[in-house]
Amino acid sequence: MRKVPLPHDPLLGPATLNIGHISGGRAANVVPDQAAAQILIRTVNGTEELRRKISELLAGRCEFEFVRDTPTLRMEKLDGYKTDVVSFTTDLPALTRWGQPVLLGPGSILVAHTEHECVRKAELIEAVDLYCRLVHELKKTVESRESKVES
């Protein structure tokens, strides 16, 4: 799997592959009769070609299934808010019926879901102000759009 060429996007960079869970065997002194692995690939663009390559590689070697495919989401930049470009996945593509999604909060995405993940208390306090400011600004935007529609 590590030899499969992963997609690359000019803005998001390379896709990432993580073998996050491996299990198998019955005892330390017995040659394993079964094994399983869960692999996560965070893609940065379409997955059809990557799925084809993986299927060709694994066909006849093991049983496998593609469990989930979350499309790449490019979000708009909000003026006045610090932004970063990351090639990580999010559940936001499933929430687009609610309008234009935003993803923000305290802490660093660079350590999210790692053994170093943490959020300083000061960042939590700053996050309250950030969320309040965002809600007020979004409310003004919605009210402005509604008044233009009524005119």
pLDDT in tens, 61-118: 999 999 988 878 777 777 888 888 776 777 777 777 777 777 888 888 888 888 999 9
Structural domain includes residue 90: no
Q: Are 34 and 24 in contact (CB under 8 A)?
A: yes
- Which residue, among 26, 23, 20, has the nearest Cα to 1 in the 3D structure? 20
What pLDDT score does 70 carry?
81
In a domain, 43, yes or no: yes
What integer pLDDT is reported at residue 87 of this predicted model?
66
Residue 24 within any structural domain of the chain: yes
| 96 falls within a domain | no
Per the domain annotation, does 73 fall within a domain?
no
77 located within any domain: no
Task: Report the 10 Å Cβ neighbour count for 15.
Answer: 20
Query: Is residue 51 included in any domain, yes or no?
Result: yes
Domain count, the chain: 2
Look at the chain and count its residues.
151
Average pLDDT over residues 114-130: 93
Of 42, 58, 74, the last residue of a domain is: 58
**pLDDT (0 to 100) of residue 12:** 84
pLDDT of 64 reads 95
Q: 45: closest CA among 67, 12, 90?
A: 12
Cβ contact 14:5 at 8 Å: no
pLDDT bracket for residue 144 (50, 70, 90): confident
Query: Residue 36's domain spans which residues?
Result: 8-58
pLDDT in tens, 32-52: 999 999 999 988 887 899 999
Q: Which of 41, 58, 75 is a domain's end point?
A: 58
